Structure 1
Amino acid sequence: MTVMQTAEHKMQSAVEVLEQELKTIRTGMANAAILEHVTFEYYGSPMPINQMAGIKVVEGRQLMITPYDKGTLKDIERAIAMSDIGLVPQNDGDCIRLNVPALTEERRKEFVKDASKMGENAKIAIRNVRRDANDTIKKDKELTEDESKDLQDKIQKLTDKFVKLVEQAVDAKSKEILKV
């Protein structure tokens, strides 16, 4: 792979990581992604809830979790209660319901700040990739000065493109969070 391809691949990865992180931020609407990182003990090993239960959104503000194995109902309920998602599980014997309350204005602003921090971290990662690529280009003795400068300009344009993608992702998430 060339320096350019490597840089583009790493920058793309940074954007993908950001998008995954942004999915975990609550928006006031029920979304199965908020349970992605919640695990429970299943035969001695941690298991993600979304692999052991069906999760569906009911009426926009409620998640219904139906375990494939009814014996795991209590374990899933306990895992959700102990997680940091801030939702209280209601076990009705067959499934678990999670009511997602509307967010307060203060909480919305907090989540927007979190999204901005995640975006800033992604931008830092992208800039680090740019720095590494530029260092590699400068160390390459086979390139002429003009070729080196040209490659560095291309890396900068690539960086600008991915930083813009990060900003768009954060802006979209912020609008989603602030939408009442």
Structure 2
Amino acid sequence: MIADVLTEAAARMDRAVESAKEDFATVRTGRANPQLFQRVLVDYYGSPTPLAQLASVGNPEARTVVITPYDKSALKAIEDAIRDMPNLGANPTNDGALVRVTMPELTAERRKEYVKLVRSKGEDHKVHLRGIRRKVKDELDALTGEVSDDDIARAEKELDALTRTHVDAIDEALKRKEAELLEV
């Protein structure tokens, strides 16, 4: 029982760390990165559709992203969705066959803003991990009477170590992203 609870907790925490890494990847650095456009939703025939389902996203140059839609009628909708993206600061151009997005250089001030944004996202993800820990601890406490108190105490120590490991993983990803942001 305890092993199942801890295994499930580890899986949930692993997913939370992966989610944090994906979230960090959506914050732009000096280079253009196709991952910036992962969470873009395009209004395609009245329903929000992920950009990845409507077009291929390529990176031919360091500061340019080229988006080639599978359906040319979606060009205007894709262009509008990218223009409406918060924190991008780029103006997409549509040449009738594809959308080209040239990323402007980041100023020192903008880089500092992005570092603050990434730190905030990192803290949100760590709070989520602690929430998982709290729920799992409640599940372990509910097992009182079915298993010994010593087993529960050992499981809580394992849970704390597991939480610490995953928080450290988020901190490490955060450090890498900050270094990437501050690199000129």
- Counterpart residue identity of residue 120, structure 1: E
- Provide the secondary structure at the position in 2 that maps to 1:80: helix
Query: Displacement, 1:142?
Result: 1.9
State the alpha-carbon separation in 2 of the partners of residues 74 and 123 from structure 1: 38
Q: Which runs of 5 or more residues in structure 1 are unaligned?
A: none
Q: How many residues align?
A: 180
Distance 2:10 2:176 in 1: 23
TM-score between the two structures when normalised by the length of structure 1? 0.92
163, 166, 172: which one aligns with 1:162: 166
**Distance in 2 between the 1:71 and 1:139 partners?**
56
> Residue 183 of structure 2 corresponds to which residue in structure 1?
179
Give the deviation of 1:58 after TM superposition.
1.9
Match of 2:7 in 1: 5
The code of the aligned residue for 1:19 comes to K
Instruction: Give me the whole-angstrom Cα distance separating, in 1, the residues matched to 2:16 and 2:48.
Output: 27
Of 87-96 and 25-34, deviating more is 87-96
Q: What secondary structure sits across from 1:130 in the alignment?
A: helix
Point out the more displaced range, 104-113 or 127-136.
127-136
| CA drift at 1:72 | 1.9
Amino acid at match of 1:136: E
Q: Secondary structure at the match of 2:75?
A: helix
SS of the residue 2:166 aligns to: helix
Amino acid of the structure 2 residue aligned with 1:11: M
CA RMSD in angstroms comes to 1.5
- Report which stretch shifted further, 9-18 or 23-32: 9-18
Distance in 1 separating the partners of 2:142 and 2:15:
25
Q: Distance in 2 between matches of 1:122 and 1:82?
A: 25
Structure 1 residue matching 2:56: 3-state secondary structure: strand
Task: Select the residue among 55, 58, 67 that pairs with 1:56.
Answer: 58
User: Which of 42, 45, 67 is 2:44 aligned to?
Assistant: 42
Identify the residue that residue 87 of structure 1 maps to in structure 2. 90
Deviation readout 1:67-122 (Å, 9 max, x if unpaired): 22222222222222223232101122222111111211111111111111111111
2:152 equivalent in structure 1: 148
1:32-69 deviation digits (Å, cap 9, x = unpaired): 11112222222222222222112111221001111222
Structure 1 runs, 4 residues or longer, greater than 3 Å off: none
